[in-house]
Amino acid sequence: MSLRFTHETLPQRVVFGPAAEHLAAEVARLGSRPLVIGRAAADLLPGVPRYRDVVMHVPVDVAERARAFTADSDADVLVSIGGGSATGLAKAIALTTGLPIVAVPTTYAGSEATDVWGLTEDGRKTTGADRRVLPRTIVYDAGLTLSLPVRLSVASGLNAVAHCVDSMWAPRADPINQALALAGIRALSGGLPRIVSRPSDPEGREQTLYGAHLAAVAFASAGSGLHHKICHVLGGMFDLPHAQTHAVVLPYVMELNGVAVSALLAEAFGPDGLHGLRERIGAPRALRDFGFRESDIPAAVAAILAVVPPGNPVAVTAGDLTDLLRRAWAGEPTGDPR
C-alpha cells in the first residue's frame, strides 16, 4: 500500500542530562537577562529573577500579571522550571511577547515539546497552536523528578500515555507520529512500573521522561483528539486536576473508540494491555475523587459534543458521552481496550 501524507517536524533543541551542567549554557544561547517561571529547583540559576505565581490551567488574570512582571523585569529569555502549569504560564507570556523559552520539566506533562497554549477564563479553557510558544530548548534532567511523589508520577505518566493514544487518531495523525506514539507507549509502560517499585531509582524516571517526550512530539504533530477535548472541557469548566483527569478518562475513551485502534496499540502496551499497566502502577480510578459531580455531567456533555474532533474513529453522540462520563465519574471497570 502506498503512503500519502504530509508531516511537519517542529524545530527544537533537546538536551538530556543534568540541568546543573547544561542549563546556564542553554539559556546563554538565547539571551542574557533570564526570568525563571515556576517554584521548582530554586538552586538552578541562582540570583536570577523568578515569577512564582503559577496556577493550574493558566487563568487569564494570572497570565496578565505574569506578562506585566516580565515587562518590568526587562527579561529577554524565559526559563520554565516545573510541571505543565509552569510551562503553560511561560507559553502565555511568550504568546504576547515572542520571548524564547528554555523549558526544564519536573513532571511528565509534555507541554514543553508542543506549540500548544491554553488559557482559562470563566470556566472555559481555550487552546491554540502558535510557534511563538514552542520552547526553543528543553533540558531533561531525571534527577529533578525524584521529588515528584509516586502517585503524582503515575498520574503525570498516564497523561503522557494519553498523548500517545490521542496521536493515533487525532485530526493530523500520520505514520510518523504514530510510530513516535507507539515508541512512547513502550517507554512509558517500562518506566512507570519502575518508578512505583523503586521511586529513588533515576533510571525508571529517565525512561519515563524519554517516553513523555516522544508522546509530546507525536501529539504536537497529530493534534488534539477526542480524549484531550474531553479533558480540556473537564479541566476548564470544573477546575479538575490536569494529570489525574487524563489518567481516569483514558481507558473509557479507548473503549469507546474500541477496535479502531486495538491492533495498533496491542503490541506497544504488551500482553497485559493498558488495564494491566494501570493495575501495576495504581492508577487513579474515578473523577468523583477529584471533585467532579454526577450533576455536572449534562453540562460537560454539551460542551464536549461541540468540540468532538473530525476523523474520530467512531461517531460520538450525546448518549455516548453521557455514558462515558458517568462511568468515569463512578470509576466503573472497562473492558481491556487493547
Last residue of a domain, one of 113, 145, 177: 145
Q: Which helix (H) or strand (E) holds 295?
A: none
Look at residue 336 and tell me whether its pLDDT is greater than 80.
Answer: no
Position 1 confidence tier, pLDDT thresholds 50, 70, 90:
very low
Residues 94 and 134 sit within 8 Å (Cβ to Cβ):
no
pLDDT on residue 123: 82
Written as nine digits, the cell of 44 is 538552578
335 within some domain = no
Domain co-membership, 203 together with 320: yes
Q: What is the CATH number of the domain that holds 284?
A: 1.20.1090.10
Predicted confidence (pLDDT) per residue in 155-203, tens digit: 999 999 999 999 998 999 999 999 999 999 999 999 999 999 999 999 9
Residues 185 and 159 sit within 8 Å (Cβ to Cβ):
no
Domain co-membership, 280 together with 317: yes
Last residue of a domain, one of 145, 176, 191: 145
Number of domains present in the structure of the chain: 2
Cα(196)–Cα(160) distance, rounded to whole angstroms?
Answer: 16
246 within some domain = yes
Domain co-membership, 44 together with 80: yes
337 within some domain = no
Cβ-in-10-Å burial (0-12, 13-18, 19+) of 245 comes to buried
27 within some domain = yes
74 within some domain = yes
Position 231 confidence tier, pLDDT thresholds 50, 70, 90:
very high
User: What is the distance between the terminal CA atoms of the chain, rounded to a whole angstrom?
Assistant: 25
Look at residue 263 and tell me whether its pLDDT is greater than 50.
Answer: yes
Cβ-in-10-Å burial (0-12, 13-18, 19+) of 310 comes to exposed
**Three-state secondary-structure class, residue 224:** coil
Average pLDDT in the 296-321 region? 94
pLDDT on residue 2: 66
Position 258 confidence tier, pLDDT thresholds 50, 70, 90:
confident
DSSP string, 73-127: HT-SEEEEEESHHHHHHHHHHHHHH---EEEEESSS--GGG--EEEEEETTEEEE
Cα(307)–Cα(156) distance, rounded to whole angstroms?
Answer: 24
Average pLDDT in the 113-138 region? 93
Average pLDDT in the 89-111 region? 97
2 within some domain = no
Domain co-membership, 69 together with 84: yes
Cα(177)–Cα(83) distance, rounded to whole angstroms?
Answer: 23
Predicted confidence (pLDDT) per residue in 40-77, tens digit: 988 999 999 999 999 988 999 999 999 999 999 999 99
Distance of CA 262 to the CA centre of its chain: 22
Last residue of a domain, one of 124, 145, 166: 145
Domain co-membership, 125 together with 246: no
Domain co-membership, 233 together with 94: no
Q: What is the CATH number of the domain that holds 45?
A: 3.40.50.1970
- How large is the angle between the packed helices 297-305 and 226-238, nearest 10 degrees? 130
1 within some domain = no
Average pLDDT in the 1-19 region? 89
- What is the residue whose three cell numbers read 479507548? 254
Residues 65 and 104 sit within 8 Å (Cβ to Cβ):
no
Residues 216 and 160 sit within 8 Å (Cβ to Cβ):
yes
Domain co-membership, 277 together with 138: no
As a dihedral over the C-alpha atoms of residue 144, residue 149, residue 155, residue 158, rounded to 10 degrees, the angle is 50
pLDDT on residue 262: 67
Name the residue range of residue 83's domain. 13-145
**Three-state secondary-structure class, residue 82:** strand
Look at residue 259 and tell me whether its pLDDT is greater than 90.
Answer: no
pLDDT on residue 338: 44
103 within some domain = yes
Domain co-membership, 132 together with 166: no
Look at residue 334 and tell me whether its pLDDT is greater than 60.
Answer: yes
Domain co-membership, 168 together with 289: yes
Domain co-membership, 27 together with 123: yes
Look at residue 133 and tell me whether its pLDDT is greater than 90.
Answer: yes
Domain co-membership, 134 together with 259: no
Domain co-membership, 241 together with 127: no
Average pLDDT of the chain to the nearest whole number = 93
